Structure 1
Amino acid sequence: MVQPAVLRLREQIQRLEGVPLRARTVLPFGVEAIDSRLPGGGLALGALHEVAGGGNAAINGAAAALFAARIAARTKGKILWCITRQDLFAPALAQVGLHADRVIYVDACDEKTVLACFEEGVRHGGLGAVVAEVARLSMTSSRRLSLAAEASGSIAIAVRRWRRQTEAADFGQPTASATRWRVSTLPSSPLPVPGVGRARWLLELIRCRAGESADFVMDACDVQGRLALPADVADRSATTQHGRRSA
């Protein structure tokens, strides 16, 4: 439970950042470990969020795209997805709950066009979410997107994807996004029999406006788009908490 003093401090930070203080609707992840670290108990709607892959996934963008699709799938309405590379795999998006009949694809020739379509989609206001794959995101562009999302109430998700590993350093540059996430793949959940278990992710909340950064080891999305704490991690957390209470 967030204490009133913390809420007041967040409001002061928002004033300094020039963020309007009107109440924002949030989209909970449905995982207490994550939602408790986000202001309002979920991912802010009417805001811009950034997602990137960690390690080699910074180039292929697969884990970041699935994480973005998971967020988009839990909104209502059509999803606009803007790309420059024709390698987005629709069946994979369906496996995390975002089915093809909900997605409108925009295949742009360059990033400038992607950003223009991204902003227009966010301003439209009639979409559940707008997702765009971009390598560079300047403070000016991100601020325009953030203001457009705030005005329309739509959630905007920038999937940061680069063509060379060295370009990923751009992810450290400041933007106007409400949150910034990095998604890295981990070894899958162990099974008692030979086979491949449920995929695992390391979710890094690198930036959270009016909040704190955090890391989460999670089982990747299922067909309903649900994340979950791995059983062994949840058991270990419960044991640790019990030990602290006993102490």
Structure 2
Amino acid sequence: MERSHAEPDGDARLDRAAEAEPPGRAARRAAARAALRGVAAEARDAASSPAAVLPLGLAAVDAHLPGGGLGLGQPHEIAPLEEGDEPCALGFGLALLARHLARVRGEALLVIAPGHPTPYGHGLAGLGLDPGRVLLLEAGSDTEVYLALEEALRAGSLPALAGLVESGLPLKQGRRLQLAAEAARPLLLILRPARAEAANGAATRWRIAAGGGGRDRFGCLTGPRWRAHLDRCRNGRPGTWLLEWDHAAHRFGLPDALAGHPPAARPGRASGQA
């Protein structure tokens, strides 16, 4: 049955009922209604606006990054500190993917140029990355890697993408990737060799080396550690940290006994590979 034009709507009836209430109770009711409207509006905004950054979860690190984390929709470059640190750089990149996928739905895409190792299921799971949520694509060259990433970014259906290349990220290609990623704002990583030093448009540049694996009371390895050097950060600050990775909690940590030591005093090299 249709409502009469003269019949007040729900808010009007509530307002009239409030007029008959004591002033204090009416004021409290009005404040509660306003607060509920504000909560609903914030929820709508949060649903329509994805997070702008991926925090690493460490105040000491996130304080160096603009917005408190890795900017989503921007390319981030990860490189080995030296020849031989490639597995460590790959492990660090995969840990970032795992952390992001723990917060969102969907899959990650890895596009791999020739000369890079292909991650395998057991190694992915050891870093907390579900192999069932990882898509692997082997490309014939860096050019094919960038073409595949750009097409996937324009599709806008993947929350995380990583390209493993041989020659670094050119300025022009970095700009094209950022433009393609602006709408969906995924996590976008480029892993390159230690020798590729050309200037590029990446928002951050990380150099990764082994940091000595954590061990339990029986002497068994409990998880990887990396010496992470933030060499370049647009609108942020460089820094160096010894990071450990908790694959079960998808969380980075600072080893308590080593957090205040200079890099030279930290343990020797150990594998952080996937």
TM-score past 0.5 threshold: yes
State the percentage of identical aligned residues: 32
Match of 1:90 in 2: 121
Match of 1:56 in 2: 83
Distance 1:139 1:228, change over 3 A: same
- Quick check: 1:79 aligned with 2:111? no
The AA in structure 2 aligned to 1:146 is Q
Match of 1:202 in 2: 227
Distance 1:86 1:203, change over 3 A: closer
Distance 1:231 1:86, change over 3 A: closer
Match of 2:147 in 1: 116
Provide the secondary structure at the position in 2 that maps to 1:71.
helix
The CA deviation at 1:176 is 0.8
The CA deviation at 1:108 is 1.4
TM (norm. structure 2) is 0.68
Match of 1:127 among 128, 150, 158: 158
Match of 2:247 among 198, 222, 225: 222
Match of 2:210 in 1: 185
Match of 2:192 in 1: 160
Tell whether the 8 Å contact from 1:96 to 1:224 is kept in structure 2 after alignment: no
Task: Measure, in 2, the Cα distance between the counterparts of 1:221 and 1:51.
Answer: 20
Distance 1:198 1:154, change over 3 A: closer
Provide the secondary structure at the position in 2 that maps to 1:88.
coil
Match of 1:144 in 2: 176
Question: 1:205-228: per-residue Cα shift (whole Å, max 9, x none)?
Answer: 111110111101112342333211
Provide the secondary structure at the position in 1 that maps to 2:195.
helix
Tell whether the 8 Å contact from 1:220 to 1:227 is kept in structure 2 after alignment: yes
Match of 1:170 among 196, 208, 215: 196
Tell whether the 8 Å contact from 2:77 to 2:204 is kept in structure 1 after alignment: yes
The CA deviation at 1:71 is 1.6
Task: Measure, in 1, the Cα distance between the counterparts of 2:139 and 2:164.
Answer: 10
Question: 1:70-108: per-residue Cα shift (whole Å, max 9, x none)?
Answer: 222223211111013453223212222211111111111
The CA deviation at 1:150 is 2.0
TM (norm. structure 1) is 0.75
Aligned residues: 207
Task: Measure, in 2, the Cα distance between the counterparts of 1:232 and 1:223.
Answer: 21
> Is the radius of gyration larger for structure 1 or structure 2?
2
Task: Measure, in 1, the Cα distance between the counterparts of 2:77 and 2:261.
Answer: 30
Task: Measure, in 2, the Cα distance between the counterparts of 1:155 and 1:218.
Answer: 20
The CA deviation at 1:50 is 0.7
Tell whether the 8 Å contact from 1:24 to 1:46 is kept in structure 2 after alignment: no
The AA in structure 2 aligned to 1:79 is A
Provide the secondary structure at the position in 2 that maps to 1:220.
strand
Provide the secondary structure at the position in 2 that maps to 1:227.
strand
CA-based RMSD of the aligned residues comes to 2.4
Match of 1:33 among 60, 63, 86: 60
Match of 2:92 in 1: 67
Task: Measure, in 2, the Cα distance between the counterparts of 1:24 and 1:182.
Answer: 25
Distance 1:112 1:197, change over 3 A: same
Distance 1:103 1:155, change over 3 A: same
Question: 1:122-171: per-residue Cα shift (whole Å, max 9, x none)?
Answer: 2221111111101222111111112212233122110113xxxxxx3323
